[in-house]
Structure 1
Amino acid sequence: MVNQKPHNIEEQIRLLRDKGMNFSDDEERKAKECFSRISYFRLKYYWRDLLDADTDGDFIEGTTFSDVIRRYDFDHQLRLILFDAIEIIEVALRSKVINHMSQAAGNGLWYLDSSLFENSDYHEDFVYDLKYEFGRSTEPFAKEYIDSHPNWDEESFDGDNPDAWRIIEVATFGTLSKMCKNLKSQLPQRSAIANDFGLYSAKDLTGWLEAISLMRNIVAHHSRLWNRTFGKKVTNPRGLRGKWLNSPLTENQKNRPYGFIVAMLYLCNAVCPGNKIKNKILDLISANQNIPYQRLGFIGNWKDDPIWR
């Protein structure tokens, strides 16, 4: 295999011109500025669907550099909105787990009790992940606890262990979602947490949380949502009490951004009524009418669905 040779910015623009992308003088200046802070490789995934399938990699006639940047900027703004949504869900999930589980157990050390979890090996991994995250946390309350408890041991269940309301506050979304999935199915608290999020099935909630954990990693690392297919799917819920869709998510929508977005919006509405996530998304779309939203899974009369009204 022979690796490609690097190209400078002028050469990158020339490559796009040769493939049929149009640049006005102003767009060329903008392209030079863009490629100085955004890599060619990163941007290419915003123009791939603008390539003409009937040619040898040339652009569809009339494609401009501005078409690409509009998509990139839209994607950036959408990620910022979704990060706000993830914050609402993540903070609420910590609170629901801490409150329901601690009150039922009558103490803050329930997370050490393997009898509350389906798989003991997963439970052990969860506790060590939790303690690892607590030990690495820069939060003052974590450092203060460790400094004042000489028997704290990150690699053992023994010794001093923080109460759930302290240690879970620094848990990653991924660790928290895995813990929820491993809670014993017959626990009333498991169902209570799902009900707080407007779902009748705890299995539906944990499936959504797994998907949102993937979305969180993508958004937090500034990765692309545009025209993306995810490795996980959002399932249609079996029962819910809030506004949802007129028709179930299609197979195509389940692993496209749209499926993830409506699931996140639903959970936000359940735990934080009056949030602005829906309006922010609608305003963003309204301000970018020329964006082909079907690339994100927004298809048909999606605006008529109850969740958007």
Structure 2
Amino acid sequence: MPDDVQLREMKAHTTYEEQLEKFKNRKMTIENDVEAITILKRIHYYRFTAYALTFKQDTSDNYIEGTTFNKVYKHHLFDAALRNHFMKIVEYIEIALRSQIPYKLAHKYGALGYTNAANFSKIQFHQRFMEDLQKCIQKQHKEVLIAHHRENYQDRYPIWAAFEVSTISMMSSLYKNLKTSDKKSIDREYYPSRNISYRELENWFHVLTVFRNRCAHYSRLFNYRIPVTIRYTRNDELLGLDKAFLFGAIYNAKYLIKDRTIWDSWVTELSSLIEAYTIVDISLLGFPTNWEHLLRKQ
């Protein structure tokens, strides 16, 4: 750091009572001080204020008239429930990827073909995948599947075993690094007649990875703008859907979940969740007014 750069003084620690006073001074209504402090003891002040930011006035540090502590808290509760619900479809897609990619690659290149950089587009990305895989194997070395191949196959792991310990981020990156012919093969095999190209799949897996990682770290989904432009199929581009918020990931997920019973059930539960929190403005998650019709439309 240059000598002439001065560090900003760190903010002082505040008590729960002082934190409430900050809210009050910024025109937030606190319905019950005791209950509010109980909540702040469980939810860190800065996590709570992340939801309150939505209710800040544009021209000052004050909150919009009518903003209450309980209103902000309900947004936190909604977000927690939405994260849990969203993870259900991520799990479905992630498990499918653990099956689809290994099947196609093993059929073409053999059980250990994934270890050969020549079978992929870019050597450096393949090297990074192999390094990340080794870390996952070391971290999960006690897993029965890993221990079996370590002891019986000289620490060699067929792709179907390797993918069982891989993260969705790694699988997304590996798919992106496949040769175009292999991406198209997976596209045709598992997502036929859906007007989906491998370019959309690349993007969708990446987008799901970003949101999935936020869910895994209990980070906010509400009013969160993803640093990736969400792509849609050529036909869906005409719908004018948002390209930066959660709804885009949810909408595209309907093409990745092939069991319509599972999907329709998930949408029904999502509808119930939204109805339970009518106080939440779901447009700040990218939801259009006809969101349920769009998700159910084949």
**C-alpha deviations, 1:133-153, integer Å up to 9, x for none?**
12321422112322344x43x
TM-fit CA distance, 1:185: 0.5
Partner of 1:182: 177
User: Residues 238 and 101 (structure 1 numbering): CA distance in 2 closer, same or farther, change over 3 Å?
Assistant: farther
User: Residues 42 and 257 (structure 1 numbering): CA distance in 2 closer, same or farther, change over 3 Å?
Assistant: same
The one of 26, 35, 48 equivalent to 1:30 is 35
Paired amino acid for 2:121: E
Distance 1:33 1:193 in 2: 53
TM-fit CA distance, 1:198: 4.6
Structure 1: gaps of 5 or more residues: 153-160, 240-244
Distance 2:297 2:274 in 1: 12
Paired amino acid for 1:134: I
Paired amino acid for 2:14: H
User: Residues 46 and 273 (structure 1 numbering): CA distance in 2 closer, same or farther, change over 3 Å?
Assistant: same
Paired amino acid for 2:250: I
More displaced stretch, 12-21 vs 125-134: 125-134
TM-score, L = length of structure 2? 0.88
Map of 1:117-196 to 2, 5 A cutoff?
117-137=120-140, 138-149=142-153, 151-152=154-155, 161-187=156-182, 189-192=185-188, 195=191
Distance 1:230 1:23 in 2: 31
Distance 2:30 2:128 in 1: 54
TM-fit CA distance, 1:14: 1.4
Map of 1:258-273 to 2, 5 A cutoff?
258-268=247-257, 270=258, 272-273=259-260
Paired amino acid for 1:274: T
The one of 278, 285, 294 equivalent to 1:296 is 285
RMSD, aligned α-carbons: 2.2
1:19 aligns with 2:26: yes
The one of 168, 191, 199 equivalent to 1:203 is 199
1:255 aligns with 2:244: yes
The one of 70, 84, 92 equivalent to 1:66 is 70
Distance 1:7 1:261 in 2: 39
Kindly, what percent of the aligned residue pairs are identical? Answer: 24
Paired amino acid for 1:170: V
User: Residues 128 and 3 (structure 1 numbering): CA distance in 2 closer, same or farther, change over 3 Å?
Assistant: closer
Map of 1:223-234 to 2, 5 A cutoff?
223-234=219-230
SS in 2 for 1:91: helix
User: Residues 231 and 50 (structure 1 numbering): CA distance in 2 closer, same or farther, change over 3 Å?
Assistant: same
SS in 2 for 1:234: coil
Partner of 1:53: 58
The count of aligned residue pairs is: 287
Partner of 1:4: 11
Partner of 2:274: 285
Distance 2:295 2:237 in 1: 7
**C-alpha deviations, 1:201-236, integer Å up to 9, x for none?**
111101110111111110000000111111112101
SS in 2 for 1:162: coil
Distance 2:136 2:191 in 1: 28
TM-fit CA distance, 1:197: 10
The one of 271, 274, 281 equivalent to 2:261 is 274
User: Residues 263 and 189 (structure 1 numbering): CA distance in 2 closer, same or farther, change over 3 Å?
Assistant: same
Structure 2: gaps of 5 or more residues: 1-7
